[in-house]
Amino acid sequence: MGALICAALGWTACGGDSFTGGAGSGGNASGGSAGSDVNGGAAGIAGSAGSGTAGSGAAGGGNGGSAGMSGSGGSGGIPAEYAACDGPGQCLLVPSNCCGYCSQPELGDFLAINSDHESSFYGERCGGSIECPSCVTLMPGNFTALCRGPGRCQAVNVYDDDALVGCDAAEDCRLRWGAGCCEACAPTPDQLIAVKVNAVEQAQCGGGPCPGCPTAPYPNDASAACIDHKCSVVYAN
């Protein structure tokens, strides 16, 4: 259970969700079976019914009907209420495989949910009994979740969002450890990002307190620059 709680802190996989649909039977096909759970992913929604037509037999022993088509794969979605929000500071990213990732993840490997449903997400999707690998790493600093219209938590790559990184000059940009309201206390190098001044705070901070730890210093050779009207991290060497 401790490993699951840690996953919510933004770990970055040891395999995402993998779902399989059940195959329909011969003749008039039966419905597909529920998606199976692989490598820690939750079971998908039941597959849709397979379709198939019965073959006609020739006199004296015809051939059997054709096999039904396989059911559709299970869905990796979450209940709609899990992603509902009405203001900043309510959303977070959780790994869709429950643990996090050992290799470089994609934004689509995470789900954006309201933090009020974090415990329910892990309890219902992960079952509380998954053994997570030790290789799991922190989530990249440019991945985050924001409350966006119409009232939904959305997964965001800050470098693809002009509201967070759009700029006209270097003075518009600043360095930051991650894209949460509170900067990381013990960050890794890939959590260093460059964003528009005050943009993350306005989008993320809902008034709650930050941890008492001091913000880690930024690398001496790093600075924030405005390149092609986007804030970017640049290094002196």
What is the mean pLDDT for each group of 10 consecutive residues in the chain (237 residues)?
Answer: 38 34 37 35 35 38 38 54 94 94 94 95 82 90 93 97 98 97 91 97 88 91 98 94
- Alpha carbon distances (Å) from 54 to 51, 64, 178: 10, 7, 58
Residue 64, exposed/middle/buried by CB under 10 A (0-12, 13-18, 19+)? exposed
User: How much is the pLDDT for 128?
Assistant: 64
Q: How many Cα atoms within 13 Å fall on the side-chain side of residue 20?
A: 7
CB-based contacts of 1: which residues, under 8 Å, 6+ apart? 128
Burial 156-194 (b: 16+ CB within 10 A, else e): bebbebeebbbbeebebbbbbbbbbbbbbeebeeebbbb
User: How much is the pLDDT for 210?
Assistant: 87
Strand, helix or coil for residue 86: coil
